[in-house]
A = this chain, B = another copy of it.
Amino acid sequence: MIVTVTLNLALDVTYHVAEVAPHSANRVAAVAQRAGGKGVNVARILHALNHETLVCGLLGGSTGDAARIDLERAGLPVALSRVGGETRRTLAVVDEARGDATGYWEPGPSVAEREWRAFLAVYDDALAGARAVVLAGSLPPGVRPDAYAELSRRASAVGVPAVLDADGDPLRLGIAGRPALVKPNRDELARVAGDTDPVASAERLRDAGAGAVVVSQGADGLLAVTPEGRWRAAPPEPLAGNPTGAGDAAVAALTAGLVEGTAWPDRLADATALSAAAVAAPLAGGFDPDVYRRHLAAVRVESLTRHGGALRH
């Protein structure tokens, strides 16, 4: 079973508006909402690929209830800890005429120390049955910025590898907990390493405690810096669609590969194809199975450490 942790779980709300008239009242033609946050998206994808998952995290208020009901409807097992504050909504207002969207991100609920301790008890229980744990996304107010280091250490202590996908301080400080894998995107990596060269930056993260580093580089695919070698994996064709959720799909595939002990080139090919399939899906946490299959057969993975060129294509 793979545990995914989403401390700043959200209710993702989408408003479809025929044509947004700023500074006046707009009728919303259709409302869609579902539970979101990086860890939830990762769990959705793993669940769709028939992996056993458990969604851990914090939630509160009636928005938290709505998120929990949605997770249960989706068939995702949950071990969620209640907080007194209100779970945040992330709203996307889709302007159908313009074909784009404006996002509004609410702040998360403020988490008290005793609520954090209650979460840790639930988390430790969840680790007992886990083969890996995914620590993903932002931290709500009140949670200490080194929270991911603590969660990673607790996982390591019981032999569960942690996969970390975060930004800023939660990423930088989280690495001290020695996660097995860290998956920043190019910008997140540059921010935390203070260096624009991705290989050098990834090595710095490894020096600081990360077991392996996989950098998601958008249309340029993935770069992996691991104890077994370095690879670059590139999608066979440029991608059009919704890039939200592509990183979550990569994390899902990389975590599945970690649990199954797949060789790095195959793991990276899988993550690249699943990312592309996520870009082709309308919502984060989904993927297009046809795109997944088509890309999986065509991803090019190139070793950067040996001179043999493409290992798999």
Name A's B-contacting residues (CB within 8 A): 15, 17, 20-31, 61-63, 65-66, 69, 86, 91, 93, 98, 100-107
The CA-CA distance from A29 to B104 in the complex, in Å, is: 10
Give how many copies assemble into the complex: 2
Query: Which residues of B lie under 8 Å from residue A86 when comparing CB positions?
Result: 31
**What are 20 A-B contacts defined by CB distance under 8 Å?**
A15-B106, A17-B104, A20-B102, A21-B102, A23-B102, A25-B103, A26-B102, A26-B103, A26-B104, A26-B105, A27-B107, A28-B105, A31-B86, A31-B106, A61-B66, A62-B63, A62-B65, A62-B69, A63-B66, A93-B104
**A104:B15 contact, CB within 8 angstroms:** yes
Interface centre among A21, A66, A69 (most CB of B within 10 A): A66
The CA-CA distance from A256 to B20 in the complex, in Å, is: 39
Asked if A28 meets B102 with Cβ closer than 8 Å, knowing A22-B22, A65-B62, A66-B62, the reply is no
The CA-CA distance from A251 to B102 in the complex, in Å, is: 37
Query: Which residues of B lie under 8 Å from residue A98 when comparing CB positions?
Result: 23
**B102:A24 contact, CB within 8 angstroms:** yes
**B65:A28 contact, CB within 8 angstroms:** no
**A106:B28 contact, CB within 8 angstroms:** yes
Which of B29, B69, B107 is within 8 Å of A31, CB to CB? B107
The CA-CA distance from A98 to B24 in the complex, in Å, is: 13
Which of B15, B65, B100 is within 8 Å of A65, CB to CB? B65
